[in-house]
Structure 1
């Protein structure tokens, strides 16, 4: 997705600006997000999926805005939506749920800038790691994330409703996070006998099934 062309935000004549989601403009922003994201993702999402993320983690959502030279109106040309919460009683996991850039704005470094903003915000929020899923055929997204340090963690067979498989990618922000055991990990080694007297960790409610946005 990146090219040799400098990101538009570094061009002094560019009208691009990057902002954090503001709930005061919810109606306009959510409508623009849904229109932009629905063009790229393989599954449709209801308004409730957007509200699930934006009501709880609106501060982890960032927008790329540009001014239409003809009308003078500002339009959304890129968006990243994320969340941050403990992962199965283990590490604090950030999650990039949605990333989309308007087609004619691709190749300008916008997606990279948005993802970096989300990573920085999640790291400041105490994230130990950041995860996401992307279709195995989406080579552009794979290259973008791998350039930012994400590693392929798992292949998810027929992960999406359209039958396509996905890779789960993880960016480890702290040393040793990848070795942390979670209460749901069926492949983890047995616990140390010194801790056998401890009660098992409580099982949290199941997360909502969000398809391409799911944890």
Structure 2
């Protein structure tokens, strides 16, 4: 039976680098952000529901989702965020389950899931939670640098996610990412070697 390892962490924690390393190690990665992006294609069932819920202002003239507009709306309005999650989460979960089923010959699969604390009860398929953690100062600096966001927007995005304490509370394993990329990759390799042994 393939085990499912959920990789989670706050924005800027280094989840993407960790997932990249797992892929290089031959471990399949099911990425919820990628699934969500694919579901944002114009005319998809999910996008029709988003249009009905939030109106035409959330789309540009070509029918593409205006992510910046939507992000601004949901981060300033918790009810809108709940509504968006209610539309997207069940569809994303179903697609993730199908992708995991396709990798059933592997010892384990990575499920990259940014907001696990908020939706842990929905993910009964998860066997192990791996949290990528870094200090709040480093996280803030990375978010500012990566996304060219204003300081206020960076703070709002971090504040909208669950707290670092809440993430660490659900962790079965933690990888600290306060140092170099080499250090991070070394820790992922170490996790892989140890966890692979538990899968047999």
- TM-score normalized by the length of structure 1: 0.30
- TM-score normalized by the length of structure 2: 0.31
Indicate the structure (1 or 2) with the bigger Cα radius of gyration: 1
